[in-house]
A = this chain, B = another copy of it.
Amino acid sequence: MPDTKKHEKYDMILDALQQLLTEKKIQNISVSEIAQKAGIGKGSIYYYFPSKDAILDALIERSYETPLHTAKNLAAQTDIAPFTRMAMLFQACRNSSTAFIKENNNSPDNASAQDLAFLHHKYLTHVISELKPALTEIIKQGIESGDIHFDSPAALAEIVLIVLAVKLDNSLLPSTPDEIEETVQGLIALLEKGTDIEQGTLSYLSLTPYE
């Protein structure tokens, strides 16, 4: 069965990159290094991937496969309150958010933090665009059920996603946990008042402390 076997190696390469990303920045990871970590020859990498960038793309996609899948399923769970689902959706994402993005790099790497820029960019693009339909659907149902009052569910979904994803990512505006909390609380307040949601409903959105 060439299909599963191909996926085996494919995943091994992604595993290798994922592991290396916990130690170094991508710019400092060479294709040879990935190959070495994966235990295969450098040439083989290019049998499975067209370019180095494509490996990263695939890794990001794989990382969010599960949370995005569950997020999309959430949209169908009409028995749960819309904003509870919304909170669950984000919690599902948070788990894998910084899995391979090491912000606090301990290595004395002289490279600037901007090196990771395109990784973050890809992450943000991926999460926001993939989650928007699901969140839009949830909000739509909230509007229909009378829990939320707002004219444009798509716009609201996008606003919420952009703010939360950007703050969650914490690369555009590096912030302390307190500052993140402040912005999130601000967003909650704005949402509750701006969409006539019962106060406190959105407290689920508050990011629980970690680490």
A143 to chain B minimum Cβ distance, whole angstroms, is 13
Across the interface, do B114 and A121 meet the contact criterion of CB distance under 8 Å?
yes
Q: Which of B121, B155, B191, B195 contacts A182 (CB 8 A)?
A: B155
Per-residue B-contact encoding for A184-205, CB less than 8 Å = 1, 0 else: 0111011101110000000000
Number of copies of this chain in the oligomer? Answer: 2
Q: Which one of B121, B125, B129, B150 lies within 8 Å of A118 (CB-CB)?
A: B121
User: Given A162-B166, A186-B159, is A122 in contact with B117 using a C-beta cutoff of 8 Å?
Assistant: yes
CB within 8 Å of B: which A159-211 residues: 159, 162-163, 166-167, 171-173, 182-183, 185-187, 189-191, 193-195
| In the complex, A59 has a CB within 8 A of chain B | no
Q: Is A154 an interface residue (CB 8 A)?
A: yes
